[in-house]
A and B are shown apart, each in its own frame.
Chain A
Amino acid sequence: MLSIKDLQVNIGDKSILKGISLNINPGEVHAIMGPNGSGKSTLSHVLAGKDGYTITGGSIEIEGQDLAEMAPEIRAREGLFLAFQYPVEIPGVSNIYLLKAALNAVRQHQGLSEVDALDFLTLVKEKIKLLGMDEKFLYRSVNQGFSGGEKKRNEILQMAIMEPKMCILDETDSGLDIDALQIVAAGVNSLRSENRSFLMITHYQRLLDYIVPDVVHVLADGRIVKTGGPELALELEQKGYGWIGQEE
């Protein structure tokens, strides 16, 4: 699904990612854990196609297609989705409008017709219930005045509507209380399927109690320093990140 080979990324002259390789097969859930500043969000932004990063080496591919060549909206239409660590507030653009625009853009890309108004409303209402959100959020401006937790749920709502095949969740757990965390995790779990993959970026192990990963990577200073199974997340939780450097 997603194949990252020796990816090196600079911000300006500063090297941030120093050779990352990662291969996620269809249906797999991978987790990336790492201390603040290790480059987790940088990786997610580069995958989504945000400006301001220079790829100085390596490659990123989705289903064999070169991601780096694609505009951000094409990546999204091809099925790559990033749930942002800090979702942007967009005054004046209603949530439901963005949801419909997003869904139709994806459908058009797939050669499908525009979604029927009634079907769309049924779909949205079903998903919003799944995420324990109030319907009034649909008619509010995107993320404007939302609490941290509401923003995170809203990201997952967008994901549920767009039905991407490669989902990247950047610290979706931060800012969520335990109830919200469970709801969001249930929402994510309901989307798990054999042809949809996930990359969960998190600072804490807590989310991984609910969304159990197949593979855990530890990122430190722009490098993957360790890869293992779910037990690696627990080990990190107990020992902190300090021991990783010492082992090397």
Chain B
Amino acid sequence: MASAVSSLEKYVEEYDEIKATLPGQELDWLVQLRQQGLDQFSTQGFPTIRDEDWRYTNVTPLIKKSFQSVVAKTSTAVVPEQMHDYYVPDCWQVVIVDGHFSKLLSKLDGLPEEVVVMALSDALVNCPDKVKRYLGQAVENEDHGFIHYNTAWFSEGLFVWIPQQVKMKQPLQLVHVVTQENVATATRNLIVAEAGAEGVVIESYFGSQDQAYLTSSISEVFVAENAHLTLYKLQNEATKALHCSGIYSQQEKHSNFNYLDFSFGGLIARNELHVNVGFAAACDLNGLFVGRGRQHIDNHTSIEHIQPRGSSRELFKGILDGRARGVFQGCVKVFEDAQKIDSEMHNHNLLLSDNAEIDTKPQLIIYADDVKCAHGVTVGQLDDASIFYLQSRAVSEEDAKDMLTFAFANEMVEKIKVSGFKSYILALLLQRFPQGIIEQEWL
């Protein structure tokens, strides 16, 4: 307890040294917002297992390392050699390395003029009023140490604004890379699709080998009337990293929000997803988390239907090997006036070892009476009859297991509509569960 306090103090003390270097110092509203974040963070700190929402996930031991804000460190300005491995083909790219936007590594040529895609630090200079309209809005009612921390500390982020009726021809990829040891990065993304707009955004998070560091990322997503936004997220952090992210999405009427999360890396990953579904709006939320060794992956999702006629679909699948531990907490809340809601939530888990563990907690809170809500959870192992069947077809036991595990995961890969990203995720999964010769059209 004492050390937790002192580590909190270290974080807070550090803030005085770095705050002048954070973007937006000349904007009073932002300085104020950051100060509020700092004040709240100073009193409550990072969440601990005493918080009901965090009882399965203990970040305190990692936090105690007192990761130093990446902006306090002199940038190594080293371009990671494997940088090209991080790019998804046929996308525009915004690249953030160690908390700073890299213009050199980013690729934004050919963007339609009316679309605004830039680093958040640039947006705060070029269009501060636009940023002001959205920053903090989707997390206004959230009281959460990582959000407060992120609001005070964020050094960079992605700003996307798609104007009315504009359809983006290519996906946009955020490439977030951490190359340094024991640093903390805080990234704030704002993704806005105005009325009738359409776009696909891929958030991707990477780190170097086995380094320890903190990635705090908060994305505020605004999907206006009739807009159609797809957000993919890939978390492939370094093996000792702590990844704490939150997606907060606000949907207006008749809008569509599709979300697909792949969580593969990190020592501890906490993926939050909060969606506020508007009138007759639809969301489709999916996730695949794959853990091994001592990885801990916590998926915390909440869907709120405040308006009537909304629909929500949620499917999270987990694959856990070794001593890995997974968590799925899914809450669907239907408010009193939200009639005619159609909601389904599913979580299926595959445990590959006796020591792997999953805590799954689906929750429906329903105050309206005319709603259709379903949920289902399964926890299982590979089916012996299936393994034997494949063996009887000359496939080795190990290959059979990889084949079946891959098949379990592939349902989620199938949901990817961007072919370059699909191949990218497939390649990552095939590294993990080798399939010999496989051809994509067979899957």
Q: Note whether A and B form a binding pair.
A: yes
Which A residues fall within an 8 A CB radius of B?
48-51, 71-73, 75-77, 81-82, 84, 87-88, 90-94, 96-98, 100-102, 104-106, 109, 114, 117, 139, 141, 158, 162
Q: Which residues of B contact A49 (CB under 8 A)?
A: 388, 391-392
Q: State whether B390 touches A90 (Cβ < 8 A).
A: yes
Q: State whether A50 touches B394 (Cβ < 8 A).
A: no
Q: State whether B397 touches A73 (Cβ < 8 A).
A: yes
- A88–B408 alpha-carbon span in the complex (Å): 16
Q: Which A-B residue pairs are the 4 nearest by beta carbons?
A: A92-B407, A105-B394, A72-B391, A76-B394
Asked whether any CB of chain A lies closer than 8 Å to the CB of B79, the reply is no
Interface of A is mostly: helix
Q: State whether A97 touches B394 (Cβ < 8 A).
A: no
Q: State whether A102 touches B395 (Cβ < 8 A).
A: yes
Q: State whether A114 touches B437 (Cβ < 8 A).
A: yes
Q: State whether B392 touches A82 (Cβ < 8 A).
A: yes
Q: Which residues of B contact A94 (CB under 8 A)?
A: 442-443
Q: Given A51-B384, A73-B395, A73-B396, decide whether A98 and B390 contact each other with a Cβ distance below 8 A.
A: yes
> B104-147 CB contact bits vs A (8 Å, 1 = yes)?
00000000000000000000000000000000000000000000
Q: State whether A106 touches B442 (Cβ < 8 A).
A: no
Asked whether any CB of chain A lies closer than 8 Å to the CB of B438, the reply is yes
Q: State whether A104 touches B436 (Cβ < 8 A).
A: yes
How many A-B contacts if CB must be within 8 Å?
Answer: 92
Q: What is the CB-to-nearest-CB distance from B82 to chain A, in angstroms, rounded to a whole number?
A: 30
> B212-256 CB contact bits vs A (8 Å, 1 = yes)?
000000000000000000000000000000000000000000000
Q: State whether B386 touches A104 (Cβ < 8 A).
A: no
- A51–B410 alpha-carbon span in the complex (Å): 28
Chain A residue with the shortest CB-CB distance to B403: A93
Q: State whether B438 touches A106 (Cβ < 8 A).
A: no
Q: Given A92-B410, A93-B403, A114-B437, decide whether A48 and B384 contact each other with a Cβ distance below 8 A.
A: no
Q: State whether A48 touches B392 (Cβ < 8 A).
A: yes
Q: State whether A96 touches B391 (Cβ < 8 A).
A: no
Chain A residue with the shortest CB-CB distance to B411: A92
Which B residues fall within an 8 A CB radius of A?
383-386, 388-397, 399-400, 403-404, 406-408, 410-411, 435-439, 441-443
Q: Find A100's partner among B383, B397, B437 (CB 8 Å cutoff).
A: B437
Q: Which residues of B contact A105 (CB under 8 A)?
A: 393-396
10 contacts between A and B (CB under 8 A): A73-B394, A76-B394, A77-B394, A90-B389, A91-B407, A94-B443, A97-B438, A101-B394, A101-B437, A106-B394
Interface of B is mostly: helix
Chain A residue with the shortest CB-CB distance to B391: A72
Q: Given A91-B407, A92-B407, decide whether A97 and B391 contact each other with a Cβ distance below 8 A.
A: no
Chain A residue with the shortest CB-CB distance to B414: A92
Q: State whether A76 touches B389 (Cβ < 8 A).
A: no
Q: State whether B389 touches A158 (Cβ < 8 A).
A: no
Q: State whether A98 touches B393 (Cβ < 8 A).
A: yes
Q: State whether A101 touches B395 (Cβ < 8 A).
A: yes
Q: State whether A72 touches B392 (Cβ < 8 A).
A: yes
Q: Which residues of A contact B397 (CB under 8 A)?
A: 71, 73
**Residue among B389, B397, B407 with max Cβ neighbours from chain A (10 Å):** B389
Q: Which residues of B contact A81 (CB under 8 A)?
A: 392
Q: State whether B388 touches A72 (Cβ < 8 A).
A: yes
Chain B residue with the shortest CB-CB distance to A76: B394
Q: State whether A158 touches B407 (Cβ < 8 A).
A: no
Chain B residue with the shortest CB-CB distance to A139: B442
Chain B residue with the shortest CB-CB distance to A72: B391
Q: State whether A97 touches B442 (Cβ < 8 A).
A: yes
Q: Given A101-B399, A101-B436, decide whether A76 and B407 contact each other with a Cβ distance below 8 A.
A: no
- A94–B385 alpha-carbon span in the complex (Å): 17
Given contacts A73-B392, A109-B394, 11 further A-B contacts (CB under 8 A): A49-B388, A49-B392, A50-B388, A73-B394, A88-B389, A93-B390, A93-B403, A97-B443, A98-B390, A158-B393, A162-B393
Chain B residue with the shortest CB-CB distance to A102: B393
- A82–B408 alpha-carbon span in the complex (Å): 26
Chain B residue with the shortest CB-CB distance to A105: B394
Q: Which residues of B contact A91 (CB under 8 A)?
A: 407, 411
Q: What is the CB-to-nearest-CB distance from B371 to chain A, in angstroms, rounded to a whole number?
A: 30
Q: What is the CB-to-nearest-CB distance from B79 to chain A, in angstroms, rounded to a whole number?
A: 38
Chain B residue with the shortest CB-CB distance to A101: B395
Q: Given A73-B394, A109-B394, decide whether A101 and B407 contact each other with a Cβ distance below 8 A.
A: no
Q: Given A93-B403, A93-B404, decide whether A88 and B385 contact each other with a Cβ distance below 8 A.
A: yes
**Residue among B383, B391, B439 with max Cβ neighbours from chain A (10 Å):** B391
- A102–B441 alpha-carbon span in the complex (Å): 18
